[in-house]
Structure 1
Amino acid sequence: MGERNWTVVVPVKRLGAAKSRLRGAVHGVPHELLALALAEDTVEAVLACAAVRELLVVTGDPQAARTLGRPGVRIVPEPSTAGLNPAFARGAGLVSGGPVAALTADLPALRPNELAEALRAAEAGPPGVRRFVADAPGTGTVLLTAATGAALDPRFGPHSAAAHASSGARPLTGAWPTLRRDVDTPADLRAAAVLGLGRHTTAVTRRAAPAGADR
């Protein structure tokens, strides 16, 4: 307990295709900049987490790789099979030892202490059991963990909380509002802003053009 023993895997889609339901959420700002800002704030929170030893960012986007590549981050090329689950599996397969966690890249309000609390809670569970944290609505998944030597077996996608539970993973039930607040829609972004956005997403949202500026 208390060691930096976790490896976290964060997939980042190609920015032009990422977060499609969020497109146009920040008026006058290119969608790719918003998608990248979400990932940057997620990455910075992970790097500041006291439980994390290493962060693997799985991406095939050159701009994301350049921007997110920094000390403490290992950039991993995305696999030929598209999708979150193959990306998570690719990253997890490169972990040589210690527990591994799969984390989504759209958590711009994430606080490092909440992530640390969730990871420590996963350590305290039954040995060999996968654990997951559902998103704020309770249907999706923001975090999936596997103990040392256990298969991650990610089931991200629609209704992933139920999919993970049916696969044997057990839910972690802490409050952790900033960890559970992923951003898929403009309403999600507004909810994350109430919690407090990270500096990159804050900077992007402040660039929003005034309503009617393009008319």
Structure 2
Amino acid sequence: MTQVWTVVVPVKRLGVAKSRLRGALPDQPHEALALALAVDTVSAVLACPVVADVLVVTDDPAVATETGMAGARVVPDRPAAGLNSAVRHGAATAGAGWIAGLTADLPALRPAELAAALSAARTGPTSRRYLPDAPGTGTVLLAAPPGVPLNPRFGGSSAAAHAASGALALLGDWPSLRRDVDTTTDLAEAARLGLGPRTALLCGTAAPTAGRSV
């Protein structure tokens, strides 16, 4: 597989990230869980065979340190500018080429599933493509070919917003990619798929060995 994609992963400050998960692990600090979700996501993206570069957009020092040590490029975020602004900032930093924006809460992500989705985004019409989350209302992945702005619409009902903006839905059975984590129920479902090592350690579950490899 050819490494052609730059993937932008925006990560909020840990103290305000994933607010609906606060208290999900009573014996662990909330910030530790938010960081684990982001690090496991970024690590899986770095292991994806079609990804050439990973840009983490954040103004959180711990996120910058941990994801940078994992191998990502860290781009300083502009405080209070919002998720979509962070994605646009990362895409502008990346420059020309195949660009994707990915949410930072995919702790069960398998590199092979991400590779399949990104490869699907390069087939068919030359346009922006989006992948809905497991419930079908949100968006976990937004991709664009060279010369086409990402024009992200992440947020509430973002799948419909991306469709209305002209993006085409990606169709594929990629459960680990579509399983973002906003609630304790989501976290339990991600655990059934197999969590990445950082999140698994916090949750007291066994991290997969072969499942997260390509």
TM-score of the two chains, using structure 1 as the length reference: 0.93
Question: Deviation digits for residues 48-94 of structure 1, max 9, x if unmatched?
Answer: 00010000000000111111113641100002452110000000001
CA contact (8 A) 1:54 1:72 kept: no
- Partner-residue secondary structure (3-state), 2:9: strand
- 2:111 matched to which residue of 1? 112
Give, in whole Å, the separation in 2 of the partners of 1:21 and 1:56.
Answer: 25
- Partner-residue secondary structure (3-state), 1:142: strand
Within 5 A, what are the aligned runs for 1:1-215? 2-70=1-69, 72-127=71-126, 129-206=127-204
TM-score of the two chains, using structure 2 as the length reference: 0.93
CA contact (8 A) 1:43 1:105 kept: yes
CA contact (8 A) 1:39 1:106 kept: yes
How high is the sequence identity, in percent, across the aligned residues? 61
Give, in whole Å, the separation in 2 of the partners of 1:80 and 1:63.
Answer: 15
Give, in whole Å, the separation in 1 of the partners of 2:124 and 2:79.
Answer: 34
- Partner-residue secondary structure (3-state), 1:157: coil
CA contact (8 A) 1:6 1:100 kept: yes
- Partner-residue secondary structure (3-state), 1:56: strand
Count of residues in correspondence between the two structures: 205
Give, in whole Å, the separation in 1 of the partners of 2:94 and 2:87.
Answer: 11
The residue type paired with residue 122 of structure 1 is: A
Q: Bigger radius of gyration, 1 or 2? A: 1
RMSD (CA atoms):
1.1
Segments of 4+ moved more than 4 angstroms: none
Give 1:95 deviation, angstroms: 1.6
**Cα distance change on mapping 1:37 and 1:71 into 2, 3 Å:** closer
- Partner-residue secondary structure (3-state), 1:69: helix
- Partner-residue secondary structure (3-state), 2:88: helix
CA contact (8 A) 1:47 1:72 kept: yes
**Cα distance change on mapping 1:71 and 1:20 into 2, 3 Å:** closer
Give, in whole Å, the separation in 2 of the partners of 1:72 and 1:21.
Answer: 29
CA contact (8 A) 2:40 2:196 kept: yes
Give, in whole Å, the separation in 2 of the partners of 1:71 and 1:175.
Answer: 28
Question: Deviation digits for residues 108-134 of structure 1, max 9, x if unmatched?
Answer: 00000000000000001212x100000
- The unaligned stretches of length 5 or more in structure 2 are 206-214
- Partner-residue secondary structure (3-state), 1:105: coil
The residue type paired with residue 99 of structure 1 is: W
The residue type paired with residue 149 of structure 1 is: G
Question: Deviation digits for residues 6-52 of structure 1, max 9, x if unmatched?
Answer: 00000010000000000000121000000000001001100000010
